[in-house]
Amino acid sequence: MKVLITGGAGYIGSHTAVELLESGYDIVIVDDFSNSSPEAIENIKKITNKDFSFYKCDINSKDALSAVFSHEKIEAVIHFAAYKAVGESCRLPIKYYSNNISGTINLLDVMNEYGCKKIVFSSSATVYGEPEENPMTEDFPLHPFNPYGTTKYIIEEILRDLYRADNEWGISILRYFNPIGAHHSGLIGERPNGIPNNIMPYICLVAKKKLEKLSVFGNDYPTRDGTGVRDYIHVVDLAKGHLKALEYIADKGICDSINLGTGCGYSVLELVNAFSRVNNVEVPYVITERRPGDLAEYYADPSKAEKVLGWKAELGIEDMVKSSWKFISNQQF
């Protein structure tokens, strides 16, 4: 089966590409390198010792996407290509609505044109907004509260409408919790671009002494140590979830949303301490004000993924912090 991966040079896309190649799929990657680099493409080939087609292509160009579909016999798509910085989405909402939503509409249009009706969509737990309780199940109400999250929600709605109109479509909507970690080779991972917003890249740059100290955003939340609790999931586990999602939709019409998380929450301080202990490196930190828009605590109920996909996260927090550090240790800044 030939699978198109949009945004395949990015953090989650590159790990998914490796897992697909290692499981015998043919892949085609499109990426515009707006938040990634050609090195990731080379490293996917190096890890797997396999070749594949790559197109430098912006999904906002329908002509460019059509050209890919006319050259390759694409049978399914895993769609990652999107802007993803929450803070930037609040400052530049139009940039996010335009790129994420229009790009997806182009893609769906071209897929329809070529009779390709299988898609795995990269959504986010952020579509739930503030949960009334934990763990979060897929039937929780959807209340995103920033433009980035709203783009994911709107695309989910578009996909649900598409399926209602034509139930030949096989659609898997994956709601990720907090992906961290890197491939065990140390060759692909999350490479921070400027000063990171997310916690793991920030911790790594502090450990590497490129940043002075981590700001822990608030220690007065109603959590076990007062700092925010999240469901961190190893990116390799997450990538494997995409293979299972592809198999799930391969031979049937369906549109289903599925959480990908571990079901286990860690606080900011627990994460920092695990990183220091496992990697034997210091991470100086200071407690600061809460970051506006942050929630105290949320984690997944991952039981639907186990039931319908036969998928379960396997790697623990130690693998996550170890592999993140291995990748960043190899990088030049």
Binding site for ligand UFG (CB under 6 A): 84, 86, 124-126, 149, 177-178, 197-199, 202, 214-217, 228, 230, 268, 291, 294
Shortest Cβ 24–ligand UFG spacing (Å): 31
Q: Answer yes or no: are the C-beta atoms of 100 and 92 closer than 8 Å.
A: no
- 92-123 exposure pattern, b = at least 16 Cβ within 10 A, e = fewer: eeeebbebbbebbebbbebbeebebbbbbbbb
Shortest Cβ 46–ligand UFG spacing (Å): 28
Residue 120 or 216: which CB sits closer to ligand UFG? Answer: 216
Shortest Cβ 61–ligand UFG spacing (Å): 25
Cα(118)–Cα(108) distance, integer angstroms: 10
Q: Answer yes or no: are the C-beta atoms of 68 and 54 closer than 8 Å.
A: no
Distance of CA 50 to the CA centre of its chain: 23
* Phi, psi angle pair for 26, to nearest 5°: -85, 140
Cα(16)–Cα(179) distance, integer angstroms: 13
Cα(2)–Cα(31) distance, integer angstroms: 17
Residue 52 or 266: which CB sits closer to ligand UFG? Answer: 266
Residues 6+ apart with CB under 8 A from 212: 206, 284
DSSP 137-197: -TTS-----SHHHHHHHHHHHHHHHHHHH-TT-EEEEEEE-EEE---TTSSS-----SS-S
> Active site residue: 11, 148, 232, 248, which one?
148
Shortest Cβ 168–ligand UFG spacing (Å): 31
Q: Nearest CA to 22 among 321, 251, 242, 232? A: 242
Shortest Cβ 10–ligand UFG spacing (Å): 13
Catalytic (active site) residue 148: yes
Cα(295)–Cα(313) distance, integer angstroms: 23
Provide the phi-psi class of 280: left if phi over 0, else alpha when psi is between -120 and 50, else beta.
left
Residue found by looking up tokens 């898997």 in the block = 172
Shortest Cβ 219–ligand UFG spacing (Å): 9
Residue nearest to ligand UFG (CB): 228
Catalytic residues: 148
